[in-house]
Structure 1
């Protein structure tokens, strides 16, 4: 009977036992080289989840491409690496899911790890590594490793050179990002406010007061009468909110008005969280305009694209492959979020200059590609600057034989 493999074995394989002699890496700043996940569970707070989701769902739309830089030319390379990144990085995740998870982990823990699985020199999968703790260690040759610890008590040691590592708030740590402790006080204030609001609603729906009885009663009788009053009039069964007493007792209501922060103060707390994660209310609600999207892209999404492009290039290609111009580039179709007026104006300028293919132009308008649409159209109103004399006068740059003809024919010949 075939033995079932755990997800741990599928990702990391049946690696040999941890080699002896690994010691904790000594950092320059003297801090412990150990990263621990944010244990305050901030992702359970709606304000944090909304802010993180706004970044992750837009960053997950970035499109990774394998390109080659040959001189000044940028050529699409395609191939297996690009297919893995663009379609399904691993059997459990689409490309969107993978990037969403990586960016979410990065924002919550300020560190995000992924492990590429190879079959020979062919990339087969990339798995996010969601650990509870990551410790940087080294061997006698000063090679750096990461010891990942997981919730079920399992652990694995991987060469740092094989692990994709994204980090945020990269300051004191030599290898890992800082914690999110600075936002904890704001989250605690929001949590306390939400709890207080719920308690205020409960309080306003119940009777609160003192029963004053006429005459002298034994303590046991007072307690029995009070318990009977509470059970009959101050429970959920008393949906009318009315109590009835005879002349032997008076009910004196106690009015308690819970102190709540006002709407302006609550908005400032929310905005503090939004600023921390690089969003605003319009971005979270999807109510941004063209200028709002551009600002959000340039300040929040584009830095993620640059960081991922550099890290994926470094870890998915050897030094020789990088030397031959191989790169991973994360790009976004920013014009997809522009107004129709802006799109039309851009098309009128870009397509005649040959900067976009037909299909690239159709993609901006959310139209499907067409057969033969990968060609570029160029207006004859543009000419190679090095041949402008030939275009204008029919004479070469060095006064060669005169070549008369109409300008359009000259442009077409270039």
Structure 2
């Protein structure tokens, strides 16, 4: 049994003939095809995608609510039996950046109950109508096909404009990718040409083409087939000049512009790529690149796995990150002391900021409030921690 059978192991329906494409507002055929542009093969593009995916893989998945307790227990351990949440988010983010559309399918057990989720990379996906309901039919590069109800699947998109279901391709990046390819070729040619020597000269006293050909062969045999040495030109050669190739390559400023285009397209910068961002710089990257992914993933998974009634009762999945870990040590100390004194953070929360494990036996769940802080109640009374004093003023 392969991975395909592990994920799509629901029994096939007796009549799975679709009733045409699902009707959309835009009149575009609801069809996704894997884009042929190999942007992931570019070192510069892969570095940008990897930087985003690496930080996204650190998101913590929190399941809350009372619905589907068995499923919640499974999801807290991981999305499926093959991946951790870090691996799941890394691959899903990579697929989304490369294809601008990422699919998540549920994994069913023998009783047709959801026991996990898995990110897909199909070569083709169609929205078809069957039994009055839209279905997603996936076709993989191996030729295998599988169909799942659209309401059971999750679809993440970027640059969604023309299609009602899927994002656009990355063809807008084609001019930049062409420049990167040409530049790499030019650098390679420059290295090759730097190891060769070419000369040109006039040959005198030769009137026949046959004589010129014989002289060319003689010169090659005498000078270019040995183990190195000097090139000897007899007096029949005049105006001997070396031919120097000067392949054109982009200067540093132009290369920086190309790099800035790629970084702008994927929402990263040099500090993020080189792991130099912290504090406000990393918070800005989080809000611009990671938080939109976390919000979309949380909404998609919540709607995918829980019914409307269960969501109304508080069932949800949230992707969160502890942004305070990326502050400087001075900022961490200030936040820790101020939030602890006011009873906002407990000890375990502060230890998490400093990348420390929680205290055993729930010791870190207690809150500490400094004695000079007072709690003002709605009725106008005020109490101080540890005292029985009240003040009605």
Shared topology, TM-score over 0.5?
yes
Q: Does 1:92 align with 2:89?
A: no
Partner of 1:201, secondary structure, is helix
Structure 2 distance, partners of 1:283, 1:239, is: 50
- Conservation of the 8 A alpha-carbon contact between 1:59 and 1:103: yes
Distance (whole Å) between structure 2 residues aligned to residue 409 and residue 318 of structure 1: 48
2:22 pairs with 1:33:
no
Unpaired segments ≥5 residues, structure 1? 69-75, 393-405
TM-superposed CA distance for 1:205, in Å, is: 2.1
Range moving further from structure 2, 29-38 or 352-361 = 352-361
Give the superposition deviation at 1:232. 8.3
**Aligned-pair distance for 1:261?**
1.9
Work out the CA distance in 2 between the residues paired with 1:298 and 1:233: 67
Q: 1:206 to 1:229 in 2, by over 3 A?
A: farther
Residues 228 and 77 (structure 1 numbering): CA distance in 2 closer, same or farther, change over 3 Å?
farther
User: Match of 2:127, SS?
Assistant: strand
* Counterparts of residues 171-210 of structure 1 (less than 5 Å): 171-210=161-200
Secondary structure of 2:86's partner?
helix
* Alpha-carbon distance in structure 2 between the residues aligned to 1:228 and 1:205: 24
2:101 is the alignment partner of 1:111: yes
2:6 to 10, 33, 36: 10
Task: Single out whichever of 211-220 and 169-178 deviates more from structure 2.
Answer: 211-220
Q: Distance in 2 between matches of 1:122 and 1:320?
A: 18
- Return the TM-score normalized by structure 2: 0.89
Q: Deviations over 1:146-184 (max 9, x none)?
A: 111111111111111111111111222111111111111
Structure 1 pair 198–389 and aligned structure 2 pair: CA distance change class (3 A): same
In the alignment of these two chains, the number of paired residues is 384
Task: Determine if contact 2:18/2:128 at 8 Å carries over to the other structure.
Answer: no
Report the Cα distance in structure 2 between the residues aligned to 1:334 and 1:319, rounded to whole angstroms.
31
* CA drift at 1:288: 1.4
Query: How does the TM-score come out when normalised to structure 1?
Result: 0.84
Among 233, 241, 250, the residue aligned to 1:245 = 233
Query: Alignment RMSD, CA only?
Result: 2.8
Residues 172-225 of structure 1: per-residue CA shift (max 9 Å, x gap): 211111111111111111111111111122122211332433321654554465
Change (3 A) 1:16 1:192: same
Indicate how the Cα distance of structure 1 residues 314 and 233 shifts in structure 2: closer, same or farther if over 3 A, else same: farther
Superposed counterparts of 1:289-300, under 5 Å? 289-300=278-289
- CA separation of 1:136 and 1:230: change in aligned 2, threshold 3 A: farther
1:154 aligns with 2:166: no
In 2 relative to 1, CA 318–364 (structure 1 residues): closer, same or farther, beyond 3 Å? same
- Kindly state the Cα deviation for residue 247 of structure 1 after the two structures are TM-superposed: 3.6
